[in-house]
Amino acid sequence: MTVSRSIEIIPVDGIQEVSDGHDIGQLILDACKKNRVSIKNGDVIVVTHKIISKAEGRVLDLSEIIPSSFAKKSGKHIGKDPRQVEVILSESRRLVKMVKGLIIAETLHGFVCANAGVDQSNIDLGKIVLLPTKPDESARKIREKISQVLKIDVAVIISDTFGRPWREGQIDVAIGISGIDPFVDYRGKTDQYGYNLRATVICIADELASAAELCMNKLDRVPVAIIRGYPFSRKEISAKLIARRPARDLFR
């Protein structure tokens, strides 16, 4: 028998401008209280990495970056600010491809994405934002803060916007998680026609991150959303497991 389920996605408005040293968990609690938004046991809280990075001091001033000769040469070749190229190189474990205006790189976390996650959107002119150093730990701290104050158990997902091979447009994905199994594994189960599933593993962490973005919107300054009603499995593992291992990646 198929069981239908519905979920609710609640934007959290009113989070103040974030700077180095802010407690993101407390800011979420304050904004929810101000806007009379409840956080309930079993909710999934999705937080864009940008406010995490700002709170953790992962913001650089481009005027202070001195590009290497390689960064200067590469920047000229692809039409990109060599100072930004230098930052991307410092945040990369491996360069995958360099094309006009874009560098595809593997980050120090193991994620493959544009510009190693280095971003200049939603930040003061002349500044640049890096990914959090330990996004799983960032998610855990937020989860523990909310659990401590409200005496409930939630899951937290840190999200970022990634492009996708073979598909136009970007979606939000999970780069940090706490309190949630990022996968639903259907392998070994039988579908309604009697077919035994052998390869289907759904990354629900990415699906939830992408669903939350529908309420966040890049231009509306809503960096947090609450997803309610999704029956996830609780687990404490790293979002790094979402990145496909090189031995299983047919395109490396």
- Which pLDDT does position 50 carry in this prediction? 96
pLDDT (average), residues 64-77 = 96
- Which pLDDT does position 173 carry in this prediction? 98
Where do you find CATH 3.30.1330.100 in the chain? 8-56+135-243
Fold of 60-128: CofE-like fold (3.90.1660)
- Which pLDDT does position 2 carry in this prediction? 44
Where do you find CATH 3.90.1660.10 in the chain? 60-128
* Residue 252 reports pLDDT greater than 80: no
Fold of 8-56+135-243: 60s Ribosomal Protein L30; Chain: A; (3.30.1330)
- Which pLDDT does position 74 carry in this prediction? 95
Q: Let me know if 100 is exposed, middle or buried by CB neighbors in 10 A (0-12, 13-18, 19+).
A: exposed
Pairing state between β 155-164 and 44-48? parallel
pTM of structure? 0.94
In this structure, what token pair is assigned to residue 107? 């980050």
Smallest CA-to-CA distance from 127 within 70, 83, 82 is with 83
User: Residues near 223 by Cβ (< 8 Å), separated by ≥ 6?
Assistant: 12, 15, 47, 48, 50, 51, 216
- Which pLDDT does position 156 carry in this prediction? 98
Smallest CA-to-CA distance from 26 within 152, 149, 135 is with 149
